[in-house]
Amino acid sequence: MTTTSPTPTAPDLDPAPLPVTPGTGRRRFKIGAGQQLKGGPFTYAALIIVGLGSVFPLYWTLVAASHDQQRVLDSPPPLLPGGRLWSNLQSAWDQAHLGKAIVNTVVVAGSITAATLFFCTLAGYAFAKMRFRGRGALMTAVIATLTIPPQLSVVPLFMMMADIGWGGKLESVIFPTLVGAFGVFFMRQYLLEALPYELIEAAKVDGATNIRIVWNVVLPAARPAMMVLGMLTFVQAWNDFFWPFLALNQDNPTIQVALGQLSASYTPDQSIVMAGALISTLPLLLVFVIFGKQIIGGIMAGAVKG
Amino acid sequence: MATTTPTRGAPTPPPGGVGAVSKEPSVWRTRLWRLDDKASPYAYIAPFFLIFGAFGLYPMLYTGWIAMHRVEMTSLSQSEWVGWDNFAKILQDSEFWTAVTNTFVIGVISTVPQLLMALGLAHLLNYKLRASTFWRTVILTPYATSVATAALVFALVFRADGGLLNWVLHFVGIGNTDWGNGEWSSKFAISAIVIWRWTGYNTLIYLAAMQAVPTDLYEAASIDGATRWQQFRKVTIPSLRPTILFTIVISTIGSMQLFGEPLLLQGGTLGSTGGSEHQYETLSIYLFNYGWKLGHLGPAAAVAWAMLVLLLLIALINLIVGRVLRKSAA
């Protein structure tokens, strides 16, 4: 299967050591300039249309969350926000136990992100800069796991979790996702370029153990990439639906699970469902508005090099 | 590379700059250094393989075992050997084949337009633009949205009575489609959600690849008198081929897994059967329904293995298509 994922990933596993020039220790995620041909009016017109299409459903979530259900289901549908936003938010909060769900989601996404950062940086560093037997094959194995859908393992996973007493608990969602192939690959690609061999050598000559090198040399060099990977992981963990929906129950949901259950109740009030959707999305939109540039740079950097 | 990695066990002892100089025989120290060097890389990659082994690989194989047993949700610890019965059960179920077809159809009508649009958009974003970061952020916003949120908003947009889309379409006189209940319209609705969420992401991946194309290629092409369209066709697309194949693989795997979109498309409890007539039931929904709604985990595990077989088939097709493309390019 790996042979078919023709990847940007098909990695050159033995890159020539980088020419070390002073100051290459840090590579920022830069958004390149491209062909430098200027966009004309047609370009802008097309972008405006696509941009409106991208944003409108989110805007309309807000609109629908601020009317009562009757008005939301009316024809013509409302296009401007109404005055019931606050009371709908409160109803959603109470009906779906969103308070608990948000705390759960923060715990889940937070611990997954922290663990992913730590383990992926370690593994990425090993694959990028250390020599060991089987490195190429093991890296290929890591990448191959990207092609395995979670559906293949959810049934036994559910039974295993019940068996070890994690059934319905947050642990059952956290542990399977502690470290991911994408993160390992992402950190490896970054460290290949951003961490000169000279720095590692210098530390070794000074008699540093490997773990000290990780702490004092690798982690500082990896920090920009860790920030980006952290945000990507957080967004993914926050939004994850399939396995949490199967693993967690009504009393102990993440916010996506709570939202799914809210809409699957027999007579869901649509404006309240939309209010719930709004609550679950707002934190991430905030992250996006603040760190959009870095996230974009991260997706682009993770995709090409190779 | 061997030359750049200092060999620490070498006769020259490490300078004692750090702390006190040890007087002990350096043999021990050398051994420890060597162990540190040998074991460290494996220790650093171990967490990935341990976690994957425990929660990925082992369950995957275990799935095969469950697929041969009767295991009920109500008594998880009891199992009874039934051999190929579970497979026979699902293969004889017409609903299973509906789910296979639906998954395939929805996969195609969501992946193809999505990637084409992403290609075009990436081309536009590759021009020098005012506020280019702003456009990229705007196009990526759907990526910040969860499946659940996206599916629930679109559920309202696609409503039969009073839905936003039908209201807009009634101005051109076609505004009474029952989107969720139609054979094709429901599949279009689901792929619309997928396309909305993922086009921006793929756009960025293409854009990154486009920016890696050396500028001299374009200069050479324009000196040879190639128009912009010809440059796009003859320079950009061929340079992007590996990236395009990559996105096809990723999107295909993604579309095999569609779950939240069909589950929440109509709200209420219709989702767990993929609509009143299973018109948009995907394989994941089928698996969920068998295992979690009906409580029969054996057949659900058999569905998981069927998905694996399908995935391998798709991989094979990808491989062949890739070969053919490479040959035709050469």
Q: What is the pLDDT of residues A81-97, one digit of tens each?
A: 888 889 989 888 888 78
Which chain A residues have a beta carbon less than 8 Å from that of B201?
A: 299
d(C-alpha A162, C-alpha A160), whole Å: 5
Please answer yes or no on whether A154 and B304 come within 8 Å at the CB atom: yes
d(C-alpha B303, C-alpha B308), whole Å: 9
Residue of B nearest to A39 (CA): B127
CA angle centred on B251, ends B249 and B257, rounded to 5°:
110
Nearest to B242 among A6, A46, A122 (CB): A6
Which chain B residues have a beta carbon less than 8 Å from that of A37?
A: 127-128, 228
Which chain B residues have a beta carbon less than 8 Å from that of A62?
A: none
B70 — contact with chain A (CB < 8 Å)? no
Q: Is the pLDDT of residue A34 over 50?
A: no
Please answer yes or no on whether B2 and A204 come within 8 Å at the CB atom: no
Q: Is A261 in contact with A144 (CB distance < 8 Å)?
A: no
Number of residues in chain B: 330
Please answer yes or no on whether B260 and A6 come within 8 Å at the CB atom: no
**CA-to-CA dists, residue A259 to A130, B100, B150, B153, B175, angstroms:** 45, 27, 11, 12, 29
- In this prediction, residues B203-215 reach a mean pLDDT of 90
ipTM rounded to 2 decimals: 0.86
Q: Is B114 in contact with B202 (CB distance < 8 Å)?
A: yes
- In this prediction, residues A56-76 reach a mean pLDDT of 88
- State the pLDDT at residue A140: 93
User: Percentage of residues in chain B with pLDDT exceeding 70?
Assistant: 92
Q: Is the pLDDT of residue A17 over 70?
A: no
Rounded to 5 degrees, φ, ψ at B310 are -60, -40
Cis peptide upstream of residue A41 (ω within 30 degrees of 0): no
Please answer yes or no on whether A54 and B128 come within 8 Å at the CB atom: no
Interface test with B, best of A7, A35, A272 (most B CBs within 10 A): A35
- Run of H or E residues at B42: helix B26-52
B171 — contact with chain A (CB < 8 Å)? no
Residues contacting residue B7 through CB under 8 Å, at least 6 positions apart: none
Please answer yes or no on whether B162 and A74 come within 8 Å at the CB atom: yes
pLDDT band at B19 (very low <50, low <70, confident <90, very high): very low
Nearest to A288 among B45, B144, B204 (CB): B144
Interface test with B, best of A263, A265, A278 (most B CBs within 10 A): A263
**CA-to-CA dists, residue B243 to A7, A9, A298, B164, angstroms:** 7, 9, 16, 36
**CA-to-CA dists, residue B234 to A35, A216, B220, B231, angstroms:** 15, 48, 12, 5
- In this prediction, residues B38-49 reach a mean pLDDT of 93
User: What are the tokens at A89?
Assistant: 């938010």
User: What are the tokens at B110?
Assistant: 């969501």
Which chain B residues have a beta carbon less than 8 Å from that of A46?
A: 124
- In this prediction, residues A138-143 reach a mean pLDDT of 94
Please answer yes or no on whether B287 and A135 come within 8 Å at the CB atom: no
d(C-alpha B242, C-alpha B240), whole Å: 6
Rounded to 5 degrees, φ, ψ at A209 are -75, 165
Residue of A nearest to B37 (CA): A210
Nearest to A304 among B129, B146, B208 (CB): B208
User: What are the tokens at A174?
Assistant: 């956290």
Interface test with B, best of A116, A161, A299, A305 (most B CBs within 10 A): A299
Collapsing DSSP states into helix, strand and coil, what is residue B184?
A: coil
Nearest to B76 among A61, A162, A270 (CB): A162
d(C-alpha B213, C-alpha B232), whole Å: 11
Which chain B residues have a beta carbon less than 8 Å from that of A36?
A: 128, 215
Q: Is B186 in contact with B281 (CB distance < 8 Å)?
A: no
Q: Is B187 in contact with A96 (CB distance < 8 Å)?
A: no
Ordered alpha helix ranges (H), chain A:
41-65, 69-73, 85-95, 98-129, 135-144, 154-163, 171-174, 181-194, 197-205, 210-213, 219-239, 242-247, 255-264, 270-304
d(C-alpha A33, C-alpha A161), whole Å: 49
Rounded to 5 degrees, φ, ψ at B230 are -65, -40
- State the pLDDT at residue B289: 94
User: What are the tokens at B306?
Assistant: 């069927």
pLDDT band at A36 (very low <50, low <70, confident <90, very high): low
Q: How far is A19 from chain B (nearest CA, A)?
A: 12
Nearest to A264 among B1, B124, B268 (CB): B268
- In this prediction, residues B213-226 reach a mean pLDDT of 85
Burial B226-255 (b: 16+ CB within 10 A, else e): beeeebbeebbeeebebbbbbbbbbbbbbb
d(C-alpha B212, C-alpha B216), whole Å: 12
The mean pLDDT value of chain B amounts to 87
List pLDDT tens digits, range A199-236. Answer: 998 998 888 888 889 999 999 999 999 999 999 999 99
- In this prediction, residues A258-270 reach a mean pLDDT of 83
> How many other C-beta atoms lie within 10 A of the C-beta of residue B118?
25
Interface test with A, best of B146, B159, B210 (most A CBs within 10 A): B146
Please answer yes or no on whether A277 and B153 come within 8 Å at the CB atom: yes
- State the pLDDT at residue A134: 92
B164 — contact with chain A (CB < 8 Å)? yes
d(C-alpha B281, C-alpha B106), whole Å: 10
- State the pLDDT at residue B12: 46
Q: Is the pLDDT of residue B11 over 60?
A: no
B81 — contact with chain A (CB < 8 Å)? no
pLDDT band at A269 (very low <50, low <70, confident <90, very high): confident
Rounded to 5 degrees, φ, ψ at A51 are -60, -45
Please answer yes or no on whether B40 and A246 come within 8 Å at the CB atom: no
Which chain B residues have a beta carbon less than 8 Å from that of A149?
A: 253, 256-257, 307, 311
Which chain B residues have a beta carbon less than 8 Å from that of A8?
A: 209, 242-243, 246
Of residues B217 and A241, which shows the higher confidence score? Answer: A241
The pTM score is 0.86
Please answer yes or no on whether B209 and A303 come within 8 Å at the CB atom: yes
Please answer yes or no on whether A130 and B40 come within 8 Å at the CB atom: yes
A145 — contact with chain B (CB < 8 Å)? yes
Q: Is the pLDDT of residue A39 over 60?
A: yes
- State the pLDDT at residue A229: 93
Which chain B residues have a beta carbon less than 8 Å from that of A193?
A: none
DSSP codes joined into one string, B155-168? HHHT-TTT-HHHHH
A303 — contact with chain B (CB < 8 Å)? yes
